A and B are shown apart, each in its own frame.
Chain A
Amino acid sequence: MSVSINVTVNGRGYQEEVEPRLLLADFLRDVLGLTGTHVGCDTSGCGACTIIVDGKAVKSCTLLAVQADGADLTTIEGLASNGALHPLQEGFHEEHGLQCGFCTPGMIMAAWQLLERNPNPSDAEIRHALEGNFCRCTGYENIVKSVRAAAGSAA
């Protein structure tokens, strides 16, 4: 049994038939081919699949695709506008906030949520906001610097 859903992803509308059990993360990757959203675990512990759903950072493995019917989604592929990188993308590049890159899309999306709520966070606030996202490469040090740099440049 398939269900028809309508979603807007990175400004583009999609109508797709999906199985009710399909996770939103798998919908993005397998149906829409937006493989920038990564899946690193099966217990919503790693945060690699974090995207923006109607203005909120959400681990896209915690939603079924059918629950996103009618939602406006932004994934890492939609963060840059007209070829200009988002300040967070610039920040991660400048401050070496990524190594293997696998956690990076989710990390950037979680940081996006933080800066929406708190444009000038302290280091402790940055660390707290990112505690739902695992990174095994960077030790988080340069991720904190990257978010701080993005906050500074956006201010």
Chain B
Amino acid sequence: MAKYIGQAVKRVEDRRFITGKGRYTDDIKLPGMTYAAIVRSPHAHATINAIDTSRALAADGVVTAFVGQDLADAGVGGLPCGWQVDFKNGDTMKEPPHPVLAVGKVRHVGDPVVIVIAETRDQAQDAAELVEVDYGILPAAVDTVASAGEGAPLVHDDVPRNVPFDWGLGDADAAAAALDSAAHVTTLEITNQRLVANAIEPRCAIGDYDSARDHYTLYTSSQNPHVIRLLMTAFVLGLPEHKVRVVSPDVGGGFGSKIFHYAEEVLAIWCSRQIERPVKWTAQRSESFISDAQGRDHVTKAELGLDADGNFTGLRVTTHANVGAYLSTFSTCVPTYLYGTLLQGLYTTPAIYVDVTAVFTNTVPVDALRGAGRPEATYLLERLVDTAAHELGLDPGELRRRNFIPPFDGVEQPGYQTQVALQYDSGNYAGVLDKALEMVGYDDFREEQAAARAEGRYLGIGFSTYIEACGIAPSAVVGSLGARAGLFESAVVRVQPTGKVSVFVGSHSHGQGHETTFSQVVADQLGIPIEDVDIIHGDTDQVPFGMGTYGSRSLAVGGSAIVRSLDKVKEKGAKIAAHLLEASEDDLEYAGGKWTVRGTDKSIGFGDVALTAYVPHNYPEGLEPGLDFTSFYDPANFTFPFGAHLCIVEVCADTGKVTLKRFVAVDDVGNVINPQIVEGQVHGGVCHGIGQALLEGAIYDGDGQLVNGSYMDYAMPRADDLPALELGRTVTPCPHNPLGAKGAGEAGTIGATPAVVNAAVDALWHVGVRDLPMPLTPQTVWQAIQQAGS
């Protein structure tokens, strides 16, 4: 029956990209368009004493310039946070204003201060250089932990100790008791360093106000145009939503950083209204580094208790989470509900407690980045487990197997209720580990490792068995946890009179291949050729609503919305078919693109039914014409992909260089629609995770300057940094959505990082190295080797 589902159908979106015909936001040129440059703070923390734009305004080609007070006077609001996380004691989250342009004070390097608009991009940038801002430099709060201590400079005067909220989850007493009575406690102090997303397309926004219709159009490089429209109209500009269209055309990667509502989107729209001309802003890469929300940045103490048999008895985690200078859109849920809830991992640990303190600093805001909270949770958990295995002289695979949650399918066996709020949907955790060990040839490797060690070569293998929560999320659940939005998805299936099908989805594709995957689903379910299906996304005027793409949710939630609409199409189609065939609906079956009267050769095709729906001459009485359905799908639960990643490294004892020898990733993402696309998602995710382990990290100096804010300075994986990746898969379907899909976009990133670091530590354990801070640069590793040997 399935002709397309499960097949590596080649991507239908490729042709425009490989021929240079993609249409990204910066490719759009509108008549009369002006160009904006933004003057940003060069200081991490300073008062703004005076701003002089007179020389800029007199420069060639300059149209106008605005400062923060201009927006404040016009009633423009601040950028909102989308999730409220209150203090443990019940006090309300501290949510200081996040102005679009700074007023009175700047709070991080890159904080926008002035926008200059000119006839050309070069003129705007030249004029921006002429703006004079008199700053009064203040001491900066930079360090994640120290900024929450006594005497640290305050980022916001009305937020004591720079703490906007704190948060706890689990049973603190039970975890403490378990640790007190444990036969062995493994303790790690972990810094999960700050990362920069670095989507290769810099952010871009174009505002276009149409005075004749009093309508606004925003073109923006966003992962979720409807969310941007909602936040911008309802919270910032107070514009009527029906007069605002947001278009996210082709978007050059997001990785989370293009979820959030940014100041430049507001500026483009508001300024276009003021000058009644289109306004375009495109980030330079140096601007991206100081204006795109960054990721991770946790400092954590983690303790795992084990009994004499190696069973995990308790876990206690204490984390300081740096949120930067302002609360970005989803910054509050990332180090809480997307982090603490994952600390059960794949294990039966009976007592868990996590305590999180969020910390404002004079740095770029921190928000979701590929994985968002789940990589941080998985990293500490998997580092703890491998460390415990080393400390106890146990095999890391065997220790995991002793503690794995037994297999359950979520249908015959119930879902697994964790100690940290979530209920896992289905899983077979030993299955992925066994497969990965077989692929890597584990027993042979240990022999090879011993032989290499005898020669003075340091080989190591790292384990990582992870789980993640995707398909975010049941709206009522997240609402009860403080989310200020629902997290459903919508889809319209519009059958055209000729039987061709247009599908309008609220999910947004910026590399995920939705135009292919969704088409496979539609074509199979309707039994029509895939060429007859078109997927439309990224335009609030075309798609009724959408919550967008993040959290590996597009197939599990967006795909399910499509299936709902397809069901309605088939249901109505059956009524029309029954009428035309003069049969009872109950006697019809739909297969191969036609309705057939069971047990006969009487049938009618999908195209004929579609035409009849729009030319309803001979038509069921009382039935509306047309074949066009909208559905909203609100998931019943999160989905829980899982997997086992194994990494083999060689560490050069003389230089400290860590070389990846092999990387095996076995992932279970539920049912797979397009294996080639899923593998591509895993490849990219693993590469991102390896990048964090070996190369990446934003470095702020004590004054709050980002010292590696360019592609000359910030190290990311290049093609020759990686070995060929070896992928495997098991399939445990999601029991609660119609496609049985779980999500694949973040799995690789979540699983990979601890596998790499565990491998390096395994290679060096015998020389006394117990932990290595990320990224594992040669200098870091060499120093660790020297210190261990001294």
Instruction: Give A contacts to B, CB under 8 Å.
Output: 19, 21, 29-30, 33-43, 45-46, 48, 75-77, 79-80, 85, 89, 92-94, 96, 98-105, 108, 123-124, 126-128, 130-144
In the assembled complex, the Cα of A134 lies from the Cα of B122 at a distance in Å of: 26
Contact in complex: A92, B14 (CB < 8 Å): yes
Contact in complex: B19, A43 (CB < 8 Å): no
Contact in complex: B18, A102 (CB < 8 Å): no
Most-contacted residue by chain A among B202, B286, B687, B719 (CB, 10 A) = B719
Contact in complex: B20, A136 (CB < 8 Å): no
Contact in complex: A102, B200 (CB < 8 Å): yes
Contact in complex: A123, B201 (CB < 8 Å): no
Which chain B residue shows the least CB distance to A45?
Answer: B711
Q: Whole-angstrom distance from the CB of B550 to the nearest CB of chain A?
A: 14
Let me know if B437 is at the binding interface, CB within 8 A. Answer: no
Contact in complex: A138, B677 (CB < 8 Å): no
In the assembled complex, the Cα of A39 lies from the Cα of B283 at a distance in Å of: 10
Let me know if B553 is at the binding interface, CB within 8 A. Answer: no
15 contacts between A and B (CB under 8 A): A39-B202, A40-B252, A40-B285, A48-B200, A96-B680, A101-B511, A102-B22, A104-B18, A127-B720, A131-B720, A132-B718, A136-B198, A139-B687, A141-B687, A144-B719
Question: A102-B252, A134-B200 provided; 19 other pairs, C-beta below 8 A?
Answer: A35-B24, A36-B19, A40-B200, A43-B712, A45-B710, A46-B285, A80-B19, A96-B8, A98-B14, A101-B252, A103-B200, A128-B720, A136-B684, A137-B253, A137-B684, A138-B680, A139-B687, A141-B725, A142-B683
> Which residues of B are found within 8 Å of A99, using beta-carbon distances?
253, 511-513, 680, 684
Contact in complex: B286, A42 (CB < 8 Å): yes
In the assembled complex, the Cα of A138 lies from the Cα of B686 at a distance in Å of: 9
Let me know if B779 is at the binding interface, CB within 8 A. Answer: no
Which of A29, A45, A101, A103 is within 8 Å of B250, CB to CB?
A101
Contact in complex: B285, A43 (CB < 8 Å): yes
Contact in complex: B719, A127 (CB < 8 Å): yes
Contact in complex: A135, B200 (CB < 8 Å): yes
Let me know if B722 is at the binding interface, CB within 8 A. Answer: yes
**Given A134-B711, A136-B199, A139-B725, A108–B684 Cβ distance below 8 Å?**
no
Most-contacted residue by chain A among B198, B252, B286 (CB, 10 A) = B252
**What are the 5 closest A-B residue pairs judged by CB atoms, nearest first?**
A36-B20, A45-B711, A102-B252, A101-B17, A139-B687
Q: Whole-angstrom distance from the CB of A19 to the nearest CB of chain B?
A: 7
> Which residues of B are found within 8 Å of A79, using beta-carbon distances?
19
Which of A40, A77, A131, A134 is within 8 Å of B20, CB to CB?
A77
In the assembled complex, the Cα of A141 lies from the Cα of B722 at a distance in Å of: 9
Contact residues of B between 508 and 526, Cβ < 8 Å to A: 510-513
Which of A30, A76, A96, A100 is within 8 Å of B510, CB to CB?
A100
Contact in complex: A136, B680 (CB < 8 Å): no
What is the total of A-B residue contacts with beta carbons within 8 Å?
183
Contact in complex: A38, B720 (CB < 8 Å): no
> Which residues of A are found within 8 Å of B10, using beta-carbon distances?
93-94, 96
Type the 1/0 row for B183-215, where 1 means its CB is closer than 8 Å to any CB of A: 000000000000000111110000000000000
> Which residues of B are found within 8 Å of A132, using beta-carbon distances?
718
**Given A134-B711, A134-B716, A100–B18 Cβ distance below 8 Å?**
no
Type the 1/0 row for B658-682, where 1 means its CB is closer than 8 Å to any CB of A: 0000000000000000001101100
Let me know if B473 is at the binding interface, CB within 8 A. Answer: no
> Which residues of A are found within 8 Å of B253, using beta-carbon distances?
99-100, 102, 136-137
Q: Whole-angstrom distance from the CB of B721 to the nearest CB of chain A?
A: 8
**Given A42-B285, A131-B719, A136-B255, A108–B18 Cβ distance below 8 Å?**
yes
Contact in complex: B680, A21 (CB < 8 Å): no
> Which residues of B are found within 8 Å of A143, using beta-carbon distances?
719
Contact in complex: A41, B18 (CB < 8 Å): no
Let me know if B402 is at the binding interface, CB within 8 A. Answer: no
Type the 1/0 row for B5-32, where 1 means its CB is closer than 8 Å to any CB of A: 0001011011111111111101101000
**Given A37-B20, A75-B20, A89-B18, A102–B201 Cβ distance below 8 Å?**
yes
Q: Whole-angstrom distance from the CB of B13 to the nearest CB of chain A?
A: 8
Which chain B residue shows the least CB distance to A146?
Answer: B18
Contact in complex: A43, B684 (CB < 8 Å): no
Let me know if B724 is at the binding interface, CB within 8 A. Answer: yes
> Which residues of B are found within 8 Å of A140, using beta-carbon distances?
683, 687, 717-719, 722
Let me know if B786 is at the binding interface, CB within 8 A. Answer: no
Contact in complex: B683, A130 (CB < 8 Å): no
In the assembled complex, the Cα of A127 lies from the Cα of B721 at a distance in Å of: 8
In the assembled complex, the Cα of A123 lies from the Cα of B725 at a distance in Å of: 13
In the assembled complex, the Cα of A21 lies from the Cα of B688 at a distance in Å of: 36
Instruction: Give B contacts to A, CB under 8 Å.
Output: 8, 10-11, 13-24, 26-27, 29, 121-122, 198-202, 250-253, 255, 284-286, 510-513, 676-677, 679-680, 683-688, 710-712, 716-720, 722, 724-725, 748
Contact in complex: A19, B719 (CB < 8 Å): no
In the assembled complex, the Cα of A79 lies from the Cα of B8 at a distance in Å of: 26
> Which residues of B are found within 8 Å of A124, using beta-carbon distances?
720
> Which residues of B are found within 8 Å of A33, using beta-carbon distances?
29
Contact in complex: A139, B684 (CB < 8 Å): yes
Q: Whole-angstrom distance from the CB of B570 to the nearest CB of chain A?
A: 31
Q: Whole-angstrom distance from the CB of A111 to the nearest CB of chain B?
A: 10
Which chain B residue shows the least CB distance to A98?
Answer: B17
> Which residues of A are found within 8 Å of B679, using beta-carbon distances?
96, 142
Which of A37, A41, A105 is within 8 Å of B285, CB to CB?
A41
Which chain A residue shows the least CB distance to B685?
Answer: A139
Contact in complex: A141, B20 (CB < 8 Å): no
> Which residues of B are found within 8 Å of A144, using beta-carbon distances?
719, 724
In the assembled complex, the Cα of A43 lies from the Cα of B202 at a distance in Å of: 13
Q: Whole-angstrom distance from the CB of B507 to the nearest CB of chain A?
A: 15
Q: Whole-angstrom distance from the CB of B506 to the nearest CB of chain A?
A: 19
Which chain A residue shows the least CB distance to B752?
Answer: A139
In the assembled complex, the Cα of A132 lies from the Cα of B778 at a distance in Å of: 21
Most-contacted residue by chain B among A42, A123, A124 (CB, 10 A) = A42
Which chain A residue shows the least CB distance to B21?
Answer: A36
Contact in complex: B24, A105 (CB < 8 Å): no
> Which residues of B are found within 8 Å of A96, using beta-carbon distances?
8, 10-11, 676-677, 679-680
Contact in complex: A100, B20 (CB < 8 Å): no
> Which residues of B are found within 8 Å of A128, using beta-carbon distances?
719-720
Contact in complex: A136, B716 (CB < 8 Å): yes
Contact in complex: A85, B27 (CB < 8 Å): no
In the assembled complex, the Cα of A48 lies from the Cα of B201 at a distance in Å of: 9
Contact in complex: B22, A101 (CB < 8 Å): yes
In the assembled complex, the Cα of A94 lies from the Cα of B677 at a distance in Å of: 11
> Which residues of B are found within 8 Å of A141, using beta-carbon distances?
683, 687, 722, 724-725
Which of A34, A39, A75, A142 is within 8 Å of B680, CB to CB?
A142
In the assembled complex, the Cα of A21 lies from the Cα of B722 at a distance in Å of: 38
In the assembled complex, the Cα of A111 lies from the Cα of B685 at a distance in Å of: 23
> Which residues of A are found within 8 Å of B199, using beta-carbon distances?
100, 102, 136
In the assembled complex, the Cα of A89 lies from the Cα of B18 at a distance in Å of: 6
Contact in complex: A41, B711 (CB < 8 Å): yes
Which chain B residue shows the least CB distance to A104?
Answer: B17
Q: Whole-angstrom distance from the CB of A120 to the nearest CB of chain B?
A: 18
Q: Whole-angstrom distance from the CB of B285 to the nearest CB of chain A?
A: 4
> Which residues of A are found within 8 Å of B686, using beta-carbon distances?
139
Contact in complex: A43, B711 (CB < 8 Å): yes
Contact in complex: B252, A100 (CB < 8 Å): yes
> Which residues of A are found within 8 Å of B712, using beta-carbon distances?
43, 45
Which of A46, A126, A139, A142 is within 8 Å of B200, CB to CB?
A46
Q: Whole-angstrom distance from the CB of A55 to the nearest CB of chain B?
A: 19
> Which residues of B are found within 8 Å of A138, using beta-carbon distances?
680, 683-684, 687
In the assembled complex, the Cα of A141 lies from the Cα of B727 at a distance in Å of: 11
> Which residues of B are found within 8 Å of A98, using beta-carbon distances?
14, 17-18
> Which residues of B are found within 8 Å of A139, using beta-carbon distances?
683-688, 717, 722, 725, 748
Which chain B residue shows the least CB distance to A21?
Answer: B122
Contact in complex: A42, B20 (CB < 8 Å): no
Which chain B residue shows the least CB distance to A141?
Answer: B683
Q: Whole-angstrom distance from the CB of A60 to the nearest CB of chain B?
A: 13
Q: Whole-angstrom distance from the CB of B172 to the nearest CB of chain A?
A: 40
Q: Whole-angstrom distance from the CB of B531 to the nearest CB of chain A?
A: 16
> Which residues of A are found within 8 Å of B122, using beta-carbon distances?
19, 21
